[in-house]
Every structure is written in structure tokens, then in C-alpha cells.
A and B are shown apart, each in its own frame.
Chain A
């Protein structure tokens, strides 16, 4: 894998490989010494044009636990207003001899453009309202664990089909502006899940009918059929943009309220990419419910990013099948 730009770039076997390796990586978290030598001597730059504590620190920890040198570069404001082009910023950082650039940008497509300008590997850490592939991978990781623990036989059943076959997953909220939703739709499609998109018409993306997912404006209609619901964060400024009349009306129509929590199938998973607006798109009861995976998602973030960094930076020269086992042997 040269870059990770879109969830659509990943085949089922590549996704499975990433998730399996992330499982191994997750054991590092429980060790007293959380360090693998796998990426020693490699340099990873987190080039963030947009603030993101969560994603940035998770990439940073992932890189450090793999012994890469990780540098954070905040390029916020380094844009047209300052006179420097995206290309110049990217080339400048790349010229320092980095092996991988982890790019977060407020504009869609920026990592894709960057990948054409430089030789280093590019990882998309979220671009505008386009994609956030590592978020989709960590969501899949969390859900796979959940599905397997709920039905331990499912792992064995999965000869070539995945744990997601036959599962219905609703993604609910501001789909128009959500990079998490786009990446999840693409990844879950490859994994074989049935995706249902739920939003008021004003927050439904243009051309959604051509997406590999069903869509509806009626959350309650699909609630009982879901094996998992992914609630998306609603930006409060969407209200002033006229996308919906009030927070109250949004919550009543599209929030995972206590009442909807009760209407979910027993054991159906609850996900949220964070940060949550408790009381708006998700009630406290739902966020803290036994079947809420929200904190597991955060924990999975590091494992997934370790796995992805390793897949992209580790494999080639040393061809270590399992960096975790290798370290254990040493």
C-alpha cells in the first residue's frame, strides 16, 4: 500500500489485514513497555492544516509506539491568506526527508493532491467534507470486535465473507458535511454490510441515491433493524445555516434519544466518532449505554493507526510478517 487516501482504495483482504494487524497492535497497549522497533529510523510528519487533538495525538502515539520519529507540524493558517500554496507547504515539509506525511486539511482532496507532488507516503487524516479513512477503519475494527464477542462463532464462519455480511448499520446525522460518513459507506460496502443513511433532506448529500447505501429520512423506520448505529456530530452552525430549525427539532427527529435507545435491538452497537454533543444527536443514556462502543472507538484509534503506518512504512524492506511477535522474540 503506497498511500491511504480513500477507504475505496482498500480491498476486502487489505482491510482484513489491517484489522487483524491492529488486533495484534492492540496488545501493545497492555504492555508495561509500549514500544515496538518496527519503524525505527522512519520519520512521520503529522501535517495538520486544521486542529484535531484526537486524530493527531492518536497518529502521534501510534508512530511513537512503533519507534518512528514523529513530528507534528501545524500548518493552520498557512494557506492562501499567508501567500504560501498548499504545494509549497507540502514540498517544504517533504524536502526535510520524511517517509510519510499524515495530512489533515479543511479542504476536500488536499491529501490526494499532495500525493501527486511528493515521493513520501501520504495518509489522509481527514480532508474537508470528503473522507477520513482511518476513522472508518477504527469503526470497523470496533464493530468487528463487537460482532465477534456477541457471536463468537462468527469469526470461524468467515471463510471469505466478512463479519459484516448481513449486518445492517445506520449512519445518522449531517451526512452532507461528514467525511466520516463517506469513508464508512465505502469501507462498509467492501466489508459487505448493509448501510442505511439517515438524515433530514437538507443534510443528505447530493447524489446520495448513487451511493452504495440505502437512505431514508425516517430514523424510526430503520431503528429496529440495525445491528449498529453510528451517530454523527451535528455542528451547531448548521442550524444558523438553515439546515434544520432547532436543536430540539433535530433531536426529536434524528437524535439517539432514550426512547430510541429502547427501540434498538438488544445488543445493537452505538458508535460516535466524537466529539459528542450530548443531548443533541445522542442522549447521555445512549452514550453511556452498555452497548455503546464510543470509548472503544477511541482506544482502537491508536491500534488502527499503528497498523496502517506499519502497512505503509514497515513492510517493504524488512518484510516482517508480525512486528509484534518479532518484538516478543527479541
Chain B
């Protein structure tokens, strides 16, 4: 592999410098040889490779919707160098063996680092703890555990899980949805639109009450809770309160919750059916504010590819979720950077540094300095394009941004020194 010299990029918006990539690491640019491959990054911004805390790669089980190959290609196109693969595959990632298999699939695909998320409970059933310790002690050292899609609503179980993972500095990523307040059919923010369309409502309190409870359990156990895809202003308030008291709680927000509102479902298009649901404007603004001030720690995609036919049901019966890897940074630029809410170094924090820290990834989210792993995403801060759902590496097309003009930031992605994407 040739050395690559990236010249003139602004490093996370903090000043221009050259980057020399050699053998997977960043080395002193002054050492560049004559045969170095040069890349002019004048006017571009270099970010540490993006880290997604919340990706559904669907393999094994639903290889018609996504595979490690297609999913990590999509990740690379989105500027990601690492994705955490959610456990709701078939079989579920609830053993060390399954976790090793996920990591191996990711290595074979080879377009981004794939880190398995372990299930908290066996089969995501919410009853018995999965072998959390064995997953943690395995070669892939699972640190993030989640029954994503299934809220751990049993407070006793959540408490025990939190206590147990303290032994190996794990974190439980909670899908906060009280099943008694928002059941399995809840598919639309409870409010004017759900009432008018006759869709089962999903009230904000179903999220924030669980988060408020988990704050107490995190304090009780001294363990780490991470809140998946925060969608409500109420949850942002609870998080702000908890953080002020020093509780070890972190949170993520998806790009779609940062921009899209409940009005998108007025046409009953299942593309916009997602869990938690799209919320009204006041929640969207609270999420942007929360991400800006750090109450929300990270952007995570909840990339949820689905085979076309699984979205071609009646709205209430169609699959939940939307793709997000390739457009995540675009939406962050649109909502946070172009509006002045977040600097580029803030973007680096929320999309790379902090998510890597939450997941305890040692080789990701590192500074762009000599000696560090060469995980680099080059970004054009001004480019824009109209999103085309067919212009994708993903196998799925459930893209809520189709037809919308957004920033088109990602120019190139380097993972461990290897170029995994180049526009």
C-alpha cells in the first residue's frame, strides 16, 4: 500500500495541516517519499473517521435487506470507519460465539470496522440475561449491550443487568419505550396527526419515563446507561438534569429525528415509519439544542434497511425504520453546522470521538495526530446534492431523504489507512 499524503485539509476545523498515511497510521508529513500518492484537500475538512453507535447490518438472517458487505460500503460512503452492529439478527447476537461471528463477517467485508453489540437478554426476550460476561471476555470484547427495539421495561432486570456489566465497564444502550404507554402497534407521535390519521399513538412520555427511571438505576448501580435514539424534548430535559447530577448517562440522536417531523407521515408513506416516531417541530428543535450543548452526546444513525416488500404494507403493518448511514453527516451539516449550532470540531466530537468513547473503542475517534490510527473522513463543507435512493451501496431503498436536496459532504474515507470510499 502506497503512502498517502493529504494536503491542506482543515483538521476538524482547527487549522490546516497535511496528513501522511503510512501502514495504517498517521505519520509525520515531513517523511513523505517521492512516490507518495498525493491528495489535494484544499478547502476540505478532515474529521476523525465517523463512528456509528447504532447500525442494523441485517446479516445473518436478512441478507436480502443488507449484508456486512453492502452495509459497511454504505458506512464508508457516509464517512464511517466503525459501526456497532445491533444484535437483532437471526440468530440474535446473544453469545460470545455469535459476537465473534459478527466481527468475522465484518472483517471479511472490510469496508469499516464492525463491532458487535451484544443482546442484554437471551433472544432479546427481556427475561433472562444473555451471557454478558462471556461476550465481554471474548476476543471482540463486547462493551455495548442492547435489546434494541425491545425496551428493557422490567426495572428489576435492568438493575441487575447494569450491576452485572459494571465488572467489565460495559454500557447498556436502552431503547426507551414503555410498552404499556406505547405498545408494539404505536407508530405515530401521539398528537394531532395520529388522531386525525387514526394511527396508534406513541406519546413522548413513553420514552421520557423510562429514561427518568434509568437515570435512577444508573445512579443506584454506578453503571453506564446509554439512551438510544432520543426523540423527545422531555427526554432532553431529563438527560440535562441527570448530567448535572453526574449520573453516568449518555445519549444519541438520529439524523432523521434532527430534521424530519410528524407531518411526513400525513401521506401514510411507510418510508417515514420509524421507531421512535418522527416528532413535531418543538421536539426536533429541542434535540438540535441538546446535541449542540452536549446533553445529547452523539449522532447515531439507527440505519435500518428493509427489503422493499416489508415496507409495502399498510402503514401500521409495515416494518419500522429507515436507512441512514450515507446521509447522516449530510443531515448533521444541514441542521447543526450550516445553522451555526455546531463547529466542525463539535461535529468530530458528536460523530466520532464521543461515540468511540461510549463504546470503549481504542482505535477510533482519535485525534488526527502523528502516531494515531489513520481513520480519516474528508469533507467538503459546501457541496450539495439531491438525494437519490438508488444511488447507494445499501441493498435497501427505504430512504426518507429521497428527492431532497442536502449537503453532500463526504469526499473520501480512510479506515486504518486504507481508502474505503472516494467520491
Contact = CB atoms under 8 A, between A and B. Distances in A.
Contacts of B317: 79-80, 86, 107
A107 B195 contact: no
B196 to A, nearest CB: 7
Interface string B304-336: 000001101111110000000000000000000
Given A109-B197, A130-B198, A207 B268 contact: no
Given A107-B314, A107-B315, A88 B309 contact: yes
Interface string A104-122: 0111111011000000000
A131 B198 contact: yes
A109 B312 contact: no
Interface in A205-225: 205-208, 210-211
B195 A108 contact: no
A83 to B, nearest CB: 8
Given A108-B268, A112-B268, A206-B201, A85 B312 contact: yes
Q: Is the interface of B mostly helix, strand, loop or mixed?
A: helix
A305 interface: no
Contacts of B199: 108-109, 128-130
Nearest to A182: B198
B337 interface: no
Contact of B313 (A80, A112, A205, A208): A80
Contact of B314 (A110, A176, A207, A211): A110
**Chain B interface residue count: which class?**
20 to 34
B312 A88 contact: yes
Contacts, number: 82
A258 interface: no
A206 B313 contact: no
Interface residues of A, number: 29
A36 to B, nearest CB: 34
A112 B316 CA distance: 13
Interface in B161-207: 190-199, 201
A206 B192 contact: yes
Given A86-B317, A206-B191, A108 B198 contact: yes
Given A80-B313, A88-B312, A109-B315, A205 B268 contact: no
Contacts of B269: 113
Contacts of B309: 85, 87-88
Contacts of B268: 108-109, 112-113
Given A79-B317, A108-B268, A113-B268, A87 B312 contact: yes
A190 to B, nearest CB: 16
Given A113-B268, A206-B190, A105 B195 contact: no
Given A206-B201, A207-B196, A108 B316 contact: yes
Contacts of A131: 198
A85 B313 contact: yes
Residue of B192, B193, B310, B317 with most chain A CB atoms under a 10 A cut-off: B317
Interface string B251-279: 00000000000000001110000000000
A141 B291 CA distance: 55
B192 A108 contact: no
A207 B193 contact: yes
A214 B223 CA distance: 50
Nearest to B189: A206
Nearest to B313: A86
Given A88-B309, A179-B198, A182-B198, A105 B314 contact: yes
A310 B321 CA distance: 41
Contacts of A130: 197-199
A127 B267 CA distance: 14
B194 A207 contact: yes
A179 B198 CA distance: 8
Contacts of B313: 79-80, 85-87, 107
A182 B199 CA distance: 12
A109 B195 contact: no
Interface string A170-192: 00000011010010000000000
B56 to A, nearest CB: 18
Given A130-B199, A207-B196, 17 more contacts: A79-B317, A80-B313, A80-B317, A105-B314, A108-B197, A108-B268, A109-B268, A112-B268, A113-B314, A127-B198, A128-B199, A128-B316, A130-B198, A176-B195, A182-B196, A206-B194, A210-B192
List the 5 shortest-distance A-B pairs measured between CB atoms, nearest first.
A207-B192, A109-B268, A107-B314, A130-B198, A129-B198
Interface of B: 190-199, 201, 267-269, 309-310, 312-317
24 contacts: A79-B313, A79-B317, A80-B313, A88-B309, A88-B312, A107-B317, A108-B314, A109-B268, A109-B315, A110-B314, A112-B268, A113-B269, A128-B198, A128-B316, A129-B198, A129-B199, A130-B197, A177-B198, A179-B198, A205-B195, A206-B190, A206-B192, A207-B194, A207-B195
Interface of A: 79-80, 85-88, 105-110, 112-113, 127-131, 176-177, 179, 182, 205-208, 210-211
